[in-house]
Amino acid sequence: MAFDTICVKKTVLELTSLLSGGRVDKIHQPEKDEIMLVVRTFSGAYKLVLSASANNARVHFSDTSKENPKTPPMFCMLLRKHLSGGKITKISQPDFERIIEIDIESYNELGDLTTKHLICEIMGKNSNIILCTDDYRIIDSIKHVDFTLSSVRQILPGGTYSSPPAQDKAAILSDDIKNVSLDFSQDGVRPDKVIMSAVSGISPVTAREIVYTATGSLGLVCGELSDADKRSILNTLLDFAENIQFKPCIIFDEQDKPIDFSATEILQYGGNYRVEYFSSMSEVVCSFYSQRDLKERMRQKSADLIKLLSNHLERCSKKLVIQKKTLQDAENKERYKIYGDLVTANLYQLSDGQSSAKVSNYYEDGCPEIEIELSPALSPAKNAQRYYKLYSKLKNAEVEVKKQLAATLEDIEYLESTLSAVENSTSEADLNAIRAELGELGYIKRQKKGKKDTKVQAKPMHFVSSDGFDIYVGKNNTQNDYLTLKFANSQDIWFHTKKIHGSHTIIKLGVDKDVPKTTMLEAAQLAAYYSKARESSQVPVDYTQVKNVKKPNGAKPGMVIYDNYNTVYVTPKNMEQA
């Protein structure tokens, strides 16, 4: 993983310089595997994030705050009991591992000054946050590890904390690295893999950088290395370990998406990828993981909603196929009426037990002869009645199914727009608002009335254009209705992606009715960004005055019709919220 022991070392140096002597002011647990400490020092307050996420474990400073649960989790309450008001005395990296240990002095219930160890292990799926006493007895951890999960090392309250088992490798930060030997005997293996098999605490990108620095290439395998190349790789590794020069950076691909980060300089990508350098490791980690972690969290929290909406959409799609088939069959209804009429007109020449009848079709010019299938078990008169019943059944079905078809298409439209809102949600409050909306419409069971709901209510997003105009964007269908039908004035300007599910976007005009083109473009870009077409380019966005937007009677939340509009094509772009 990218967060190797070199990144940890750089992070520890930064934390030590800023937090030593600081007091733990507040403790929050916004996620089940994430802690935020607010530490006050003489130079100001710092928000320190400790995450034990399986995919995004990390430690860094943050300028933002997440929504916290109304009732703090037990581990959070425990940390508050033992660490609130405590003084940070030491921050270290035990055993050159991906572990950050924070020593905090605080008073216990008896008024005695004690030291607690808050240990954050950054180890992929085995990441954890552990609180220990001065003698390393485990008080509790954010994740419990028993014998069913690990037979080697258990993390349980009351147990004794021990470091993870040492690997049979030389740690990049230890003196053992001076005696390391690299085995280049495997012909098809890349030399960076050889380094990683012999050295612990080093990330793949750093191993590749060492090879690139030594040989000028990343395409070689061991069998192609000369003796000089092998010596150069070993010497470069040793020099790197002895003289680590920190230069935190993030690597971006051709689409400008972050793909990796490092605590040291990266040159191996040449001009193909962009490398951006930062002043601190904390900035790198925060920038790299913030969006990735948000998407992962929202994916987990919205999984039930996505499954629910997908199931409803699947049912509606099946229903739509059946309804269209019924309408297609109903197109032949007149043929059954004609059959009934022709059989009735020819009863005098038909007898019981016939399987078909050849009669003249006087409904067509020239009265051509046609053959009509009959049921031998029925009399000719009852065969005629059978065709009349088929005609009547299809005629009635056509009327009903047309109504049902319109309702099904409306359901599909609503479900797809709601699914789009779920995918664009950025907080649990957004998801709760969508759940409440679905509950009102009967898609999910509504919770029994009890205590007043104290959950944080999501609000429409508010942006300010570069020209100073207020722009509002709905996060779900209920908010879309509120923005368009209640909040906006008739002269305000309304935006929505053309025939693409997305959010309603409003420019509030206020006193100034003359909207600059820049503001119009920014509003259209926001409408495109908060839609299903977020990853596309040249997205069509319709805009018109709010007075031209109407909601049909009985329409579901977010469903409107509009006229007298113009269309602009834009590339989706987000803005900082006001």
Tell me whether residue 9 is in a domain.
Answer: yes
Residues of the domain holding 493:
461-570
Q: What is the pLDDT of residue 167?
A: 84
Looking at the fold, whether 284 and 310 belong to one and the same domain comes out as no
pLDDT of residue 148 exceeding 50? yes
User: Given 394, 421, 448, which residue is the final one in a domain?
Assistant: 421
Q: In Å, how far are 292, 416, 500, 502, 528 from 532, measured between CA atoms?
A: 19, 9, 7, 6, 8
Helix, coil or strand: residue 137: strand
pLDDT of residue 341 exceeding 70? yes
Model confidence at 450, in pLDDT bands (50, 70, 90)?
A: low
- If one compares 384 and 513, the residue with the highest pLDDT of the two is 384
Looking at the fold, whether 403 and 328 belong to one and the same domain comes out as yes
Determine the Cα–Cα distance for residues 305 and 22; give it in Å rounded to an integer: 42
pLDDT of residue 213 exceeding 50? yes
Q: What is the pLDDT of residue 448?
A: 57
Looking at the fold, whether 15 and 57 belong to one and the same domain comes out as yes
Inter-axis angle of helices 303-330 and 428-440, to 10 degrees?
Answer: 40
Looking at the fold, whether 9 and 137 belong to one and the same domain comes out as yes
pLDDT of residue 108 exceeding 90? no
Helix, coil or strand: residue 287: helix
Tell me whether residue 184 is in a domain.
Answer: yes
Question: What CATH number should be reported for the domain holding residue 97?
Answer: 2.30.310.10
Residues in the chain: 578
Q: What is the pLDDT of residue 449?
A: 54
Q: What is the mean pLDDT of residues 384-398?
A: 90
User: Given 236, 254, 289, which residue is the final one in a domain?
Assistant: 289
Q: What is the pLDDT of residue 447?
A: 59
Looking at the fold, whether 194 and 115 belong to one and the same domain comes out as no
Looking at the fold, whether 482 and 388 belong to one and the same domain comes out as no
Question: What CATH number should be reported for the domain holding residue 238?
Answer: 1.10.8
- How many domains does the chain contain in total? 4
Looking at the fold, whether 344 and 270 belong to one and the same domain comes out as no
Looking at the fold, whether 552 and 491 belong to one and the same domain comes out as yes
Tell me whether residue 297 is in a domain.
Answer: no
Looking at the fold, whether 537 and 566 belong to one and the same domain comes out as yes
- Cβ atoms of residues 32 and 228 within 8 Å: no
Q: Give me 389's structure tokens.
A: 């019943």
pLDDT of residue 511 exceeding 90? no
Tell me whether residue 299 is in a domain.
Answer: no
pLDDT of residue 288 exceeding 50? yes
Q: pLDDT above 90 covers what percent of the chain?
A: 64
> Considering only CA atoms, which of 403, 415, 400 is closest in space to residue 317?
415
Tell me whether residue 443 is in a domain.
Answer: no
pLDDT of residue 64 exceeding 70? yes
pLDDT of residue 454 exceeding 50? no
Q: What is the mean pLDDT of residues 60-84?
A: 92
Query: 28-32, 222-226, 453-457: lowest mean pLDDT where?
Result: 453-457
> Considering only CA atoms, which of 325, 468, 345 is closest in space to residue 397?
325
- Is the sign of the CA dihedral 530, 536, 537, 541 positive or negative? negative
Query: 17-31, 114-128, 292-306, 376-390: lowest mean pLDDT where?
Result: 292-306
Question: What CATH number should be reported for the domain holding residue 369?
Answer: 1.10.287
Q: What is the pLDDT of residue 80?
A: 96
- Cβ atoms of residues 370 and 361 within 8 Å: yes
pLDDT of residue 329 exceeding 90? no
Backbone angles phi, psi at 465, to 5 degrees: -70, 170
Half-sphere exposure of 366 (CA within 13 A, CB side): 3
User: Given 126, 141, 156, which residue is the final one in a domain?
Assistant: 141
- If one compares 238 and 67, the residue with the highest pLDDT of the two is 238
pLDDT of residue 453 exceeding 70? no
Sheet with 44-51, side-by-side order of all strands: 58-62, 44-51, 34-41, 23-31, 87-92, 99-107, 113-121, 128-132, 138-141
Q: What is the mean pLDDT of residues 388-402?
A: 90
Inter-axis angle of helices 380-423 and 428-440, to 10 degrees?
Answer: 160
Looking at the fold, whether 21 and 137 belong to one and the same domain comes out as yes
Q: pLDDT above 70 covers what percent of the chain?
A: 97
Looking at the fold, whether 310 and 284 belong to one and the same domain comes out as no
Tell me whether residue 203 is in a domain.
Answer: yes
pLDDT of residue 348 exceeding 90? no
